[in-house]
Structure 1
Amino acid sequence: MTKSIPIYQPFLKGNERKYVLDCMDSNWISSKGKYVREFEESIEDFVGNISATSCSNGTVALHLALLALEIGPGDEVIVPSFTYIASVNAIKYVGATPVFVDSESDSWNASSNTIKNKITPSTKAIMCVHIYGNPCDLDPIFKLAKKNNIKVIEDCAEALGSKYKNEHVGVKSDISTFSFFGNKTITTGEGGMVFSKNSDLIEKVAHLKNQSVSQEIAYWHDLVGYNYRLTNIASAIGLAQMEKVEEILESKRNIASLYNFYLENLGLSFQEILSESVSSYWLNVVKTPSKSALNRIKGNLTQAGVEVRPAFPLVSKMPPYREMASHEFPLANEISETALCLPSYPGLRESDIQFISELITISINEE
């Protein structure tokens, strides 16, 4: 049997069309218009105890966060090697040096144990990435950062809805970011958000993203700024998405539970989530016993019309960064080479999960 099951597709079941048409009818289609601030406020309300400002994508959100912390040439930023490349590229944009660390074998995240030996007098910040929505163990990292007087940035691109000890991830760090790309938990097509409990930092980000234009003198710019604004149309989609965010997250939790049920006792493993944490389950990613098992599973699923994708390759292996990596990262490398991302969109049906799981079971038993 052949189906067509994508790895992800957005959940556009609310007021997206209505709000976008309202933008068009009002002629407010660019970066001015009521939906920009309403979307930002919806994020502030959802996360709690933060200020937020939107931007054009998740990568520039990280760039703005680093700029706001005044990180630049001569500074080092600790970052996991097992992450999407945007986390690392943003560090290079400001002229700082990324310092790669390994991942934990259970959570697949960086931790205080993988970070502590990489701190030097040049370390300015630690970038925590909640990989696939699974929260890092933050308190030991915060303790390490405080001891060494360094900043913490949280890359929450995949972690909208993730919680650590009853608080949304990103709240306790110096500054944090979201991504709203088309395959994220909620989407604006392309979009991002920078947020922090420090409202002065967010005001600084808002100034930088808007070409650093003066609020008093027309067309006067007091800093080198950036055109990183989010449009009113994108924000309208985002606001409609946020009206459905709890429904989306509940669906994704149910999908994760079903995958765990149908794939148990096969020698596969999922990320371990701390008992005091809640994952957004942005993607359900399964670690296979070997590369050969991964290739069989991937081949059978692809042939049956099920879209899958590999786990992130290590950024430290990529041409722009391989000379910066002082050594190998064996735990992260094993995850990267044997894990597979499965369909995880909110509208995925249980019958589709059963179909996918049966093919995986057959693939495992072929060995």
Structure 2
Amino acid sequence: MIDKVDLWNIDFNAKYIIRKLSYALKNRLISQGKLTLEFEKKLSKTVGLPYAVCTNSGSSAFLLLLITLNLKKGDEIIIPDRTWISDLHAPKILGLKIKLVDVEDERPVINLQALTKKITKKTKVIVAVHLGGRLVNINQVMKIAKKRNIIIIEDSSQVFGTKNKNFGLGRNSLASFFSFSVAKIVSSGQGGFIATKSRSLYKKLILNRSHGVKLENNREKWSNVAFNFKFTDIQACLGIGELIKINEKKKKLQRIYNKYFNEIKNLAHIKIIPINLKIDEVPLYIDVVTKYRKKLFDYLKKKNIQTRPFYPSMSEAKYNKTKGNFRNSIYFSNNGLFLPSGPDLKMEKINKVIRTLKEFEAKIK
């Protein structure tokens, strides 16, 4: 039997979810309804904000937010050069002017000094992306934007579960959006949500999630241009089941990170990208940088260990012409590698990966 180590090991809360799904099917709760509302209330409590709006993906959550802000074509939006591609695509679809900002040299999150230099009088929105569990100092971002009346949105897709009250998740910004895709700490297969403390924004999001349709005197009225971003009660069953295990999963992820960090921190040619557990960052992935990425990828593959190179930076998209120095983000793009992780990855599998990393290190010395 081949001893294979998968990139992300995921174990759904199967028994509870099956019971919840059985209830939904028996009661014909298929589309967005009362189970979605139940899930939204639980999400609201989890992130510590009064309002949560579920959507059909984290990507569409961002698009819904931008539509709801009524931005005009040509308005400037600033995003970091290291993020998932939907953060580039959503504003591009709406015709916004995108400005990219380089990231820090040790962590792939937005460089605040570079951010300050990119802001102009036309800047309407800054997107602070908490990447791979690493928190952006949102208070510093708020200080930069405060005098300029700039809206701050947080992409919290990869930090769901943190209890840090000072750094993010929409407590200080206008809103934060999250993802429930399969590699996240809580997953419904696909899906996402927006969290906000603004009641007026919440009402607009609810309206725009369903084509902007209002009901007046039992008759539908087309109120404004929007689209279908709705969630389903079937997905809510998965999400509610997973939400029960969030603290257990977070602790497992932190233990896995500590194991990797302590074992490979002294390797010369493979460097783990740091996570700060003291401020309750959640190491959703175990990611490293190495100038020998291709060789390491191939070596691990031969040992039946699944890995994945970092996805490209936004400035590398050929359809997005942009100017600027993105030295740090390109470094991560060219040298980053995701190692096997996931809250249900067995320790013997982790030990196999660590042994193999050390074997590779010895070979290239």
Shorter-chain TM band: over 0.9
Q: In structure 1, what is the Cα distance between the partners aligned to 2:51 and 2:325?
A: 39
* Contact 2:275–2:283 under 8 Å retained in 1: no
1:23-48 CA distance string (max 9 Å, x none):
1111111122x210111111111110
Matched residues in 2 for 1:31 and 1:220: separation? 20
Distance in 1 separating the partners of 2:165 and 2:271: 24
Matches for 1:203-242 after TM superposition, within 5 Å: 203-216=203-216, 217-242=218-243
Q: 1:253 to 1:274 in 2, by over 3 A?
A: closer
Kept after mapping to 2: 8 A contact 1:262/1:354 = no
CA contact (8 A) 1:137 1:274 kept: no
**Residue in 2 that maps onto 1:342:** 339
CA distance in 1, matches of 2:165, 2:277: 9
What residue in structure 2 maps to residue 303 of structure 1?
302
The 5-angstrom pairing of residues 51-62 of structure 1 reads 51-62=51-62
Q: Deviations over 1:162-202 (max 9, x none)?
A: 35455653321111100001111110111010111112111
The 10-residue stretch of structure 1 (294-303 or 78-87) with the greater mean CA deviation from structure 2: 294-303
Note the C-alpha offset of 1:281: 1.1
Any idea what SS the aligned residue of 2:219 has? coil
Greater Cα shift, 90-99 or 125-134: 90-99
Q: Please identify, of 348-357 and 105-114, the stretch whose mean Cα deviation from structure 2 is larger.
A: 105-114
Correspondence for 1:266 = 267
Cα deviation per residue 1:230-252 (whole Å; 9 max; x = unaligned)? 01000111011111111111111
Kindly tell me: are residues 145 and 24 of structure 1, through their superposed partners in 2, closer, same or farther at Cα, counting changes over 3 Å? same
Match of 1:42 in 2: 42
**DSSP-derived class of the 1:249 partner:** helix
What corresponds to 1:317 in structure 2?
316
Instruction: Indicate yes or no: 2:244 matched with 1:247.
Output: no
Tell me which residue corresponds to 2:325: 328
**RMSD over aligned Cα, in angstroms?**
1.7
* Mapped partners of 1:162, 1:117: distance in 2: 30
| Aligned-partner Cα distance in 2 for 1:365–1:36 | 52
Query: Distance in 1 between the 2:163 and 2:275 partners?
Result: 11
CA distance in 2, matches of 1:172, 1:37: 24
Structure 1 partner of 2:30? 29
Is 1:165–1:276's contact at 8 Å kept on the other side of the alignment? no
SS in 2 for 1:299: helix
User: Which letter maps to 2:250?
Assistant: L
Cα distance, 1:306 vs. partner?
1.6
Q: 1:54 to 1:243 in 2, by over 3 A?
A: same
The alignment partner of 1:20 has SS state of helix
| Compared CA separation, residues 3 and 275, structure 1 to 2 (3 A) | closer
Equivalent residues of 1:135, 1:278 under 8 A apart: no
How many pairs does the alignment contain? 361
Q: Which residue of 2 aligns with 1:133?
A: 133
- Which letter maps to 2:266? N
Q: Is the 8 A contact 1:74 1:96 kept in 2?
A: yes
Equivalent-residue separation in structure 2 for 1:329 and 1:111 (angstroms) = 10
C-alpha distance in structure 2 between counterparts of 1:91 and 1:68, whole Å: 12
Change (3 A) 1:274 1:248: closer
State the secondary structure of the residue aligned to 1:357. helix
Q: Hey, what's the Cα distance between the residues in 1 that align with 2:80 and 2:167?
A: 23
Counterpart of 2:183 in structure 1 is 183
Q: How many Å separate the matches in 2 of 1:316 and 1:168? A: 25
Task: Kindly provide the amino acid, as one letter, of the partner of residue 346 in structure 1.
Answer: P
Correspondence list, 1:95-134, <5 A: 95-134=95-134
Does residue 357 of the first structure (1) align with residue 358 of the second (2)? no
1:81-92 counterparts in 2 under 5 A? 81-92=81-92
Q: Unaligned regions of 5+ residues in structure 2, if any?
A: none
Displacement of 1:270: 2.8
Do 1:134 and 1:162's aligned partners in 2 also have CA atoms closer than 8 Å?
Answer: no
**Long gaps (5+) in structure 1:** none
Q: Distance in 2 between matches of 1:205 and 1:150?
A: 20
- What is the TM-score with the length of structure 1 in the denominator? 0.94
Determine if contact 1:134/1:278 at 8 Å carries over to the other structure: no
Contact kept, 8 Å, 1:62 with 1:90, in 2: the verdict is yes
Write out per-residue CA displacement over residues 206-261 of structure 1, whole angstroms, 9 at most, x where no aligned residue: 11011111132433221112111001000111011111111111111111111112
User: In structure 2, do the counterparts of structure 1 residues 24 and 9 end up closer, same or farther at CA, with 3 Å as the change threshold?
Assistant: farther
Quote the Cα distance in structure 1 between the aligned partners of 2:261 and 2:105: 18
